[in-house]
Amino acid sequence: MVRRIPEGDDRERLICPDCNFVAYENPKIVVGSIVAEDDRVLLCRRAIEPRAGFWTIPAGYMEMGETVAEGAQREAWEEARARIAIDGVLAVYSIARLSQVQVIFRAQLAKPGFEAGPESLEVRQFGWDEIPWDDIAFPSVRWALRAWHETRGATLPAAVLNPPEDDRGILPLPSGQHE
């Protein structure tokens, strides 16, 4: 693969010099949740780099074949062994310098209990005045915590997601069917 500007394009792409196949590089999608219970938020102390030892919300990269909500629920389980119920989309952040789009949900515990998963050193709930602000891992975690604080108790606007009666967004289309 070589980097060059394909004919008719305006930016460098990875291109196979033999067949001219263009390998498009796209942003990564991060999904996560502010999991709140009784005005306390669930935070995880990271066991992995980047920013090991710092506090974050349960979040991470989406996997192929999952919805954003499923990804957020999986991340809550992996990092905090927490089963969550999603209330709605809290925020969408574009972190262009990292080629990331972050979809952050507001959620609550669906089942009582949580504990550190393999990517966390510890997991705790914090009241607003107890949050270890100097030890927060990433700026977008601060943004999400503030968004939660500003909207807690309020009904979130309804996000328009895949219609439940049309599973084409989550299942492959049968052969020969098109949108």
Say if 22 falls within a structural domain: no
First-to-final CA distance of the chain: 32
Give the length of the chain: 179
Q: What domain range includes position 39?
A: 28-151
Q: pLDDT band at 174, cuts 50/70/90?
A: low
* Average pLDDT of span 130-159: 94
Q: Please tell me the predicted confidence (pLDDT) of residue 158.
A: 72
Say if 69 falls within a structural domain: yes
The string of pLDDT tens digits covering residues 9-44 is 999 999 999 999 999 999 999 999 999 999 999 999
- The count of other CB atoms within 10 Å of the CB of residue 116 is 16
Say if 116 falls within a structural domain: yes
Q: Please tell me the predicted confidence (pLDDT) of residue 170.
A: 62
Domain count for the chain, please give it. 1
Least confident of 8-12, 16-20, 81-85, 152-156: 152-156
* Average pLDDT of span 135-150: 97
Q: Are strands 28-37 and 100-109 parallel, antiparallel or unpaired?
A: parallel
User: Would you say residue 47 has pLDDT above 50?
Assistant: yes
* Average pLDDT of span 39-65: 97
The string of pLDDT tens digits covering residues 105-130 is 999 999 999 999 999 999 999 999 99
Say if 103 falls within a structural domain: yes
Q: Are strands 59-61 and 120-127 parallel, antiparallel or unpaired?
A: unpaired
Q: Please tell me the predicted confidence (pLDDT) of residue 173.
A: 47
**Could you say which DSSP state residue 152 is in?**
T
- For residue 8, CA distances in Å to 1, 5, 13, 17, 23 come to 19, 8, 12, 17, 15
What is the CATH number for 45? 3.90.79.10
Q: Please tell me the predicted confidence (pLDDT) of residue 142.
A: 98
User: Would you say residue 166 has pLDDT above 80?
Assistant: no
Say if 19 falls within a structural domain: no
Q: Please tell me the predicted confidence (pLDDT) of residue 178.
A: 40
3-class SS shares of the chain: helix, strand, coil, % to 5: 20, 35, 45
Q: Please tell me the predicted confidence (pLDDT) of residue 159.
A: 73
Q: Please tell me the predicted confidence (pLDDT) of residue 177.
A: 43
Give the amino acid at 24: Y
